[in-house]
Amino acid sequence: MLESVWFPLILTLRVSIVSTLFVLLMGILIAYVFARKDFAGKRFAEAMVTMPLVLPPTVTGYLLVILLAKNGIIGSYISGITSEGILFTWQAAVIAAFVVSLPLMVKTATAAIETVDRELEYAAYTLGRSELETVLFITLPLAKKGILAGCVLSFARAVGEFGATLMVAGNVPGKTNTMSLSIYGAFQTGNNELANLLVIILIIVSLLSIGITSSLVDKWKV
Q: For residue 81, is pLDDT > 60?
A: yes
Report the distance separating Cα 52 and Cα 161, nearest Å: 12
SS3 state at 86: coil
Domain at 176, CATH number: 1.10.3720.10
- Give residue 212's domain range: 2-219
Compute the average pLDDT of residues 59-78. Answer: 89
Q: For residue 65, is pLDDT > 80?
A: yes
Containing 212, the helix (H) or strand (E) segment is: helix 192-219
- In tens, the pLDDT along 134-168 reads 999 999 999 998 898 899 889 989 998 999 999 99
Q: Is the pTM here over 0.85, yes or no? A: yes
Torsional class of 190: left (φ above 0), alpha (ψ -120 to 50), beta (otherwise): left
Report the distance separating Cα 90 and Cα 195, nearest Å: 21
Q: How many domains does the chain have?
A: 1
Distances (CA, A) of 98 to 1, 49, 196: 30, 11, 27
